[in-house]
Amino acid sequence: MQIPAYAAANLLQRWFTGDVHTKQKGDRKMNILVINCGSSSLKYQLINSESEEVLAKGLCERIGIDGSCITHQPKGGEKVKTEIAMPTHTQAVAAVIEKLTDEKVGVVKSLAEIDAVGHRIVHGGEKFASSVVIDAEVMKAIEDCNDLAPLHNPANLIGINSCKEIMPDVPMVAVFDTAFHQTMPKKAYLYGLPYEYYEKYKVRRYGFHGTSHDFVSNRVAEIMGRKREDLKIIVCHLGNGASVSAVKNGKCVDTSMGLTPLEGLIMGTRSGDIDPAIVSFLADKEGKTADEIINICNKKSGVLGLSGGVSSDFRDLAQAAADGNEKADIALKTWAYHVAKYVGAYAAAMNGVDVIAFTAGVGENNVDARAEVCSYLGYLGVTINAEANKKRGEEVEISTPDSTTKVYVVPTDEELAIARETARLVK
């Protein structure tokens, strides 16, 4: 199934006019549509801000990858999974609108039922240290950061523009991934470059996935019955995009992503940490520009590149490795090794660690990936309960009772965090 552009436009117009007859909801206060566009996925939720009840939610997976699909679930209903071609985020947004207004599984009857829209924005640069109501100036500032987050900011803008076309009078809020990491000290966010480049161009480590790191670090403390301010927490946000953060006494003190989301861990299509001289070296050898090499680092590297092009999806890689593909196997092992190195680095940065939390698509669901990472952490007193580690997509402690450092799986809820910020700013 593929939704052409003209059909999507017609659908949106029907949504606006209330011509799509969907299920009627009960009394409500403030309903917020959250749009969360990632590099290869798009999450969405319609949330009542007062009760924090999710009226509908869904996930578009494998955007730009063969086998893409959307899973939609209205409140009280069953999940409906539909295979649909989504070569770009435009098609993904169209698929979301189609499900929200579907006669059988939709929950929105008219525009009047949506009070605000919250958008996840990856990079806000130095200008945005907190969430902000979106206007023309904000849109321009987000666009100006496109070169810092080439896989995400353009996708984020697609979501904004699609909503603005149909809902020009509905307030919209940008919630930035970079905000949570603004508590990092200079010793953590400065690079070993001439200081003038920070002064002139604000070249520094910003960090990303901040909404998730904030939510998960707070939630794992709640699960433990502790205050976040009393803990040393390492959050491993492991998806197609991936990052690790060190949260000490409630504040982020370091994180793996840098000026852009390219730094840090090996990811789905991103290289992560490399010798910067590789860029000019490969440019000379391949007859390419520096920009072209950076594009390769962003879109053709990571486990996709290491596996020889097998896939950027860890499920595909696991299957290929099981079938004897050596490149897929080494890609997975190299990825896990680098995650474990960052965990060790942040244990050193905080002079200890109380708890490690796995989250995001791979962290929440890939049993083997978690086990492989934790196999390096015995020196931290980590021992894993193999039976508990079999669980997927739910809150669970996967460490044994005698594990010195506790290890949890904590599903992230970036959408709820975004809805809270949106409600705070538009009330």
CATH number at residue 38: 3.30.420.40
Q: Give residue 414's pLDDT band: very low, low, confident or very high (50, 70, 90).
A: confident
> Is the domain of 261 the same as that of 329?
yes
In a domain, 426, yes or no: no
- Residue 262 φ/ψ, nearest 5 degrees: -80, -25
- Find, among 391, 99, 409, 7, the residue nearest to 238 by Cα: 409
Q: For residue 172, give Cα distances in angstroms to 161, 214, 286, 335.
A: 11, 21, 44, 37
Q: What is the pLDDT of residue 9?
A: 43
- Find, among 184, 178, 181, 302, the residue nearest to 239 by Cα: 302
Judged by average pLDDT, the poorest of 54-68, 95-109, 276-290 is: 95-109
CB 397 within 8 A of CB 386: no
| pLDDT tens digits, 349-397 | 999 999 999 999 999 999 999 999 999 999 999 999 999 999 999 999 9
In a domain, 187, yes or no: no
> Is the domain of 119 the same as that of 255?
no
In a domain, 207, yes or no: no
Overall number of domains in the chain: 2
> For residue 356, how far is the Cα from the chain centroid?
18
| pLDDT tens digits, 298-333 | 999 999 999 999 999 999 999 999 999 999 999 999
User: Higher confidence at residue 398 or residue 64?
Assistant: 398
3-state secondary structure of 427: coil
What the block records as the tokens of 166 is: 């149909």
Q: What is the pLDDT of residue 24?
A: 37
> Is the domain of 157 the same as that of 247?
no
Q: For residues 159 and 167, what is the distance between their CA atoms, to the nearest angstrom? A: 12
> Is the domain of 254 the same as that of 387?
yes
Q: Is the pLDDT of residue 20 over 60?
A: no
| Residue 379 lies in domain | 226-414
Residue of 66, 135, 147, 177 marked catalytic: 177
The end-to-end CA distance of the chain, in Å, is: 39
> Is the domain of 21 the same as that of 90?
yes
In a domain, 85, yes or no: yes
* pTM of the complete model: 0.80
> Is the domain of 142 the same as that of 244?
no
Judged by average pLDDT, the poorest of 66-80, 85-99, 213-227, 270-284 is: 85-99
> Is the domain of 238 the same as that of 151?
no
> Is the domain of 137 the same as that of 238?
no
The answer to whether residue 177 is catalytic is yes
Q: What is the pLDDT of residue 43?
A: 85
CB atoms within 10 A of CB 303: 26
The edge-to-edge listing of strands for the beta sheet with 80-83 is 80-83, 69-74, 53-61, 42-48, 31-37, 116-121, 172-176, 132-133
In a domain, 269, yes or no: yes
